[in-house]
């Protein structure tokens, strides 16, 4: 085998390994949310059984089941367990989720606008992407969790998380945000702080 062919095979193997690594890494990403939590949860008390309560305006939502499923995973990671009978649950949980589209005016000063990875350089057949291009629109996503004692109706814990991105979000995105929102439980931190959660694509 001549030296030229040997170098070509070695380069091909290296590029193949790099591509496989990139594909593997691309299957997960980190979502960072701004979180604030409130309440007076007793330090020695753990999460008990819960039932999710829907408001009248939430009962006919087509996507409600998916959002509640995402919230349930986060609640159970925080130490709560689903009640076999909603009327006997220790806690009643209300959840909310929304995504708001923000569009930017073409006349808006670029200094104040958000950025995303989309600029490129190089010849057309070898284009590289960099991290600083203006984006025209973004979605502001928010989730909220309110935990009340079923017997008294007293609110005992409230958590909120927000993030923004280029997509409206799905149950995986909202699931990560619910996990971020409940990451402080049972402690509270009313000062907004950042929490990162790994999300599978």
Q: In the 3-class helix/strand/coil scheme, how is 67-81 assigned residue by residue? A: HHHHHHHHHHHCCCE
pLDDT in tens, 169-187: 889 999 999 999 999 999 9
Confidence band, pLDDT 50/70/90 cuts, at residue 200:
confident
CATH code for the structural domain at 29-200? 3.30.160
Q: How far apart are CA 165 and CA 177, in angstroms?
A: 13
DSSP, res 177:
H
The domain limits of the chain are: 29-200
pTM more than 0.75? no
pLDDT at 123 > cutoff 70: no
pLDDT in tens, 1-29: 544 334 333 434 433 443 344 444 458 89
Give the pLDDT confidence score for residue 83 in this predicted structure: 96
Give the pLDDT confidence score for residue 136 in this predicted structure: 60
């Amino acid at each position: 085998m001549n030296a030229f062919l040997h170098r070509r095979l070695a380069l091909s193997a290296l590029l193949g390994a790099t591509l496989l690594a990139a594909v593997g890494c691309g299957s997960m990403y980190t979502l960072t949310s701004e979180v604030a939590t409130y309440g007076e949860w007793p330090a020695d008390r753990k999460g008990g059984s819960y039932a999710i309560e829907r408001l009248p305006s939430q009962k006919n939502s087509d996507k409600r089941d998916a959002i509640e499923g995402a919230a349930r995973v986060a609640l159970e990671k925080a130490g709560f367990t689903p009640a076999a009978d909603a009327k006997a649950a220790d806690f009643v949980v209300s959840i909310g989720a929304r995504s708001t589209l923000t569009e930017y005016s073409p006349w808006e000063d670029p200094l104040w606008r958000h950025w995303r990875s989309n600029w490129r350089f190089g010849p057309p057949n070898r284009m590289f992407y960099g991290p600083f291009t203006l984006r025209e629109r973004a979605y502001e996503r928010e989730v909220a969790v309110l935990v009340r004692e079923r017997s008294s109706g007293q609110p005992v814990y409230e958590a909120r998380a927000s993030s923004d991105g280029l997509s409206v979000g799905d149950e995986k995105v909202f699931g990560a945000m619910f996990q971020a929102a409940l990451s402080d439980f049972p402690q509270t931190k009313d000062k907004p702080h950042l929490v990162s959660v790994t999300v599978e694509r």
